[in-house]
Chain A
Amino acid sequence: MRRLSILAFLLVLSFGSLSAQELPYFVTYSHHMEEPGSLDLETKALAGTPRDGNSFGAAALEFEYGTTAWWTSELYLEGQKTAQDSTIFTGFRIENRVRPLMREHWINPVLYFEFENINGANKSLLEVVGHDGNDDLTGANAEGRAEKEREAELKLILSSNAKGWNFSENIVAEKNLKHAPWEFGYALAASRPLRLEGGTRTSPFALQNFAAGAELYGGLGDRDSFGLHETSHYFGPSLNWSIPSGPTITFSPNFGLNDHSAPRLYRFGVAYEIGQVSRFFGRHHQGVR
C-alpha cells in the first residue's frame, strides 16, 4: 500500500503542474473551463456547528478533467465526520459543463448537467436548493445514511469578466429522480486578483498570486413554494493563493443570513492541477498554430 502511494505521488510529480489563477469560489461556477487534457484534483472541506446539532467536518474530493476546451467533466467523492457520531462516505456526483458559445462575450453562458447519488447525511453543501437548512445538518448519521438521494441537477451558469473582475451567477434546478418536485437555488460571486499586472518577481508571495472575492448562495424553494423564505442563505468573503508550480489554497468563512441557516461555516480548499495528463493516455489535442 505504501509503495502504491509513493508510486502515485511520483506519477503526479512526473506531470507538469500548473497553478493558473483559480477563482476563489466554492459553490459558484464561472465560465472558465479546465484546460483540455489537464486534471485538477481538489479537496473542498467544510466545517461547522449547526444550531442544536453536533459539529461536523465534510469533505468532497473533486477530479476535474478538461475533456475539450469547451467541455469539462467532474467526479466528486464525498464524506463527512460528525462529532459524537460516525465517519461515513456520503456519495458521489458526476457532472459535465459545456460552453455553447465559442467566443468570449459580455455574458458567457455555460450549461451544467449533474447526476448525484448521495445520502441524507451528506453535508458538503456544494449547493443549497429547495428548503435546505440548518435541520438537514443535525440528524444522526445512521438515519441520514438510510435516505437515498438520486438526483439530477441542472445549472445555468452566467459569467462575465470586466476590468479584472469576474462576476458569476448560477441558477440551480434539482430533481430527486424518485419523487419530490423540482427544487431551485442560486449562487452569486465576484472576485478579483489582488494585482492585475503580472509582476517581475517569481516569489510565491507576489500579489498576482492572490485573489479575493465573495459568494452569496441559497435556496429558492421548490415548484410548489418558490421564493426566498423557509430556506437557508449564506454569504462569505473568500481568499485564495495560487502557489506557482504548486497548489491553490482557498479559504472562506460563510455566515448564515437567516434562522434557517447554520450560523457559520468554514470552507477550505486545496487544488492541484496536473497539466496535460492526457499525454499519459496517448491522447493529444489539436493545437492552434
Chain B
Amino acid sequence: MVRRLTLLALFAFSTVLYAASNGAWLNKVPQPERARANPYAADGNAVVAGSILYKRDCASCHGDDAQGIGRHPSLRTQRVHDATDGDLHWLLTNGSLAHGMPSWSRLPDSQRWQLTRYLHSLPIDASR
C-alpha cells in the first residue's frame, strides 16, 4: 500500500515537473495580458537596456549567454521565441512561484518590457 502511494506521489510530482518544463505557464496567461503590446517595440535601445538588466537580474540562474545553468532552463528556445511580449511580461511580473521562477514585479514595468525585448532578440539554440 505504502509502495503504491509512493509511486503515485512520484508520478504526480513528475507530472507537475513535466508540465512546468513544458511551458504550462503559458496556459495561465490571461488573453488580455497575452495581447498587450510592448511599448518599447520600436525602441532600438531597449535591447541594450534589457541586456544590462538581464546580466544584473537573470544571468545568475539562466547563465550569461541565456543557455541555462543546471536545471534552470535555457531562454534561447523556440517556446520563448514564440511567446508574445505580453506572455513574457506576464511571466516576469507573476513568476511561477510553485516552480522556482520568482516574480520580478520589483522591477518597474518599463524594465520588464525592456527585458522582454532582449529575450526576444536572443537567437534560438536549435539543440534545446
Q: Show the binding face of A for B, using Cβ within 8 Å.
A: 16, 18-21, 23, 30, 32-33, 35-38, 66, 68-70, 99, 102-104, 161, 163-164, 166, 193, 196-200, 202, 208, 244-245, 275-276, 279, 284-289
Contacts and interface: CB of A to CB of B under 8 A. Distances in A.
Nearest to B64: A16
Q: Is the interface of A mostly helix, strand, loop or mixed?
A: loop
A286 B102 contact: no
Residues of B in contact with A, size category = 35 or more
B18 to A, nearest CB: 10
A94 B124 CA distance: 44
Interface majority SS (helix, strand, loop, mixed), chain B: helix
A285 B71 contact: yes
Nearest to A71: B97
A244 B73 CA distance: 24
A45 B52 CA distance: 31
Contact of A21 (B50, B100, B106): B106
Nearest to B104: A20
Contacts of B99: 69, 286-288
A289 B73 contact: yes
B110 A197 contact: yes
B109 A276 contact: no
Contacts of A196: 108-111
Contacts of A36: 100, 102
A198 B51 CA distance: 10
Nearest to A197: B110
5 contacts: A35-B61, A36-B102, A69-B102, A288-B91, A289-B21
A166 B97 contact: no
Contacts of A32: 103, 105-106
A139 B126 CA distance: 68
Given A32-B106, A102-B98, A288 B49 contact: no
A200 B55 CA distance: 13
B102 A104 contact: no
A23 B106 contact: yes
